[in-house]
Amino acid sequence: MDLFQAVILGISQGIFEWLPVSSQGQVAALSVALFGIPADEALGYAIFLHIGTLLAAALYFRKELSEMLKGENKKLRNFILIAVLATGITALPAYIFLKSIPLTGFVLLILIAILLFVTGYLQNVQSKNTNPEMAKKNSVILGLAQGFSVLPGISRSGVTTAVLLLEGFTPEKAFRISFLLSVPSVLIGEMAFSVLEPITFDFSAIVALLFAFVFGYLSIDVLIKLAHRVNFSVFCYGFGVLYLLIAFLAL
């Protein structure tokens, strides 16, 4: 990854992380389609750049995180904690499945496109529940769903927001809980990834992380405000079609 690529991919991660269109899928697809980076390497960069947006989320939600750590909001803390623990139940098998696939640029783009369609569909499922609860059952379901976001194309924010909406939370509340959940979830995921597949930490990587952090921090508030107005599934379907076209045109 050269300096130009680092800037583009960092900005992409910062913006796409909060859009329910899979930042991991977008960054990996851009790496393959625009820069010709090998699929395995592209996926590694896509996962690595989550560190930048993790720091952005931690800074933005510092008040809520502080309250949870101090035990001032035990209900939300327990809801998040159970979801994080449940995530591992589905994340590990999904990761093993991903690593079992012989990834080429074509296969990665097709996989991302298909899973973007799945994410888009989930965001359009309507809920009849008008009385949301931060119950253990809802937290477990949320965590199990989040685990599948290990797969590039399954948006972490998209699938968790969809589950929270199904459980009756308002769009704004669903986005806030989803973003808060990202902090411990991504932290644990990055720690595991650094052990399983270490990535070279050079100047370009630092630049990419910096741009991911800055653009991630600037875009969180915008996304929360847009939550009531925008049907994000349209973006999932649009990007899905785009990556299918790129994959087949490159054959």
At 68, which amino acid appears?
A: M
Residue 73 clears pLDDT 80, i.e. is over it: yes
Residue 57 clears pLDDT 70, i.e. is over it: yes
Specify the pLDDT at position 83.
95
Residue 145 clears pLDDT 70, i.e. is over it: yes
Kindly state the average pLDDT of the residues 41-51: 85
User: 228 pLDDT band (50/70/90 cuts)?
Assistant: low
User: 126 pLDDT band (50/70/90 cuts)?
Assistant: low
Mean pLDDT for the chain? 84
Specify the pLDDT at position 199.
64
Cβ count near 35 (within 10 Å): 15
Distance CA 240, CA 14 (A): 20
User: 89 pLDDT band (50/70/90 cuts)?
Assistant: very high
Specify the pLDDT at position 86.
95
User: 81 pLDDT band (50/70/90 cuts)?
Assistant: very high
- In 3-state terms, the chain is what percent helix, strand and coil (to 5)? 80, 0, 20
- Kindly report the three-state secondary structure assignment for every residue of 72-120: CCHHHHHHHHHHHHHHHHHHHHHHHHHHHCCCCHHHHHHHHHHHHHHHH
Distance CA 116, CA 241 (A): 9
Specify the pLDDT at position 16.
84
Residue 197 clears pLDDT 70, i.e. is over it: no
Specify the pLDDT at position 158.
79
Specify the pLDDT at position 4.
92
Question: SS3 of 162, please?
Answer: helix
User: 198 pLDDT band (50/70/90 cuts)?
Assistant: low
137 or 228, which is more confident: 137
Specify the pLDDT at position 215.
93
Residue 24 belongs to domain spanning: 3-249
Residue 251 clears pLDDT 70, i.e. is over it: no
Under a CB-based contact definition with an 8 Å cutoff, are residues 54 and 183 in contact? yes
Q: Is the dihedral of CA 173, 175, 179, 184 positive or negative?
A: positive
Specify the pLDDT at position 45.
83
Total tally of structural domains belonging to the chain: 1
List pLDDT tens digits, range 203-212.
888 999 999 9
Specify the pLDDT at position 129.
65
Residue 161 clears pLDDT 80, i.e. is over it: yes
Residue 233 clears pLDDT 80, i.e. is over it: no
Residue 95 clears pLDDT 90, i.e. is over it: no
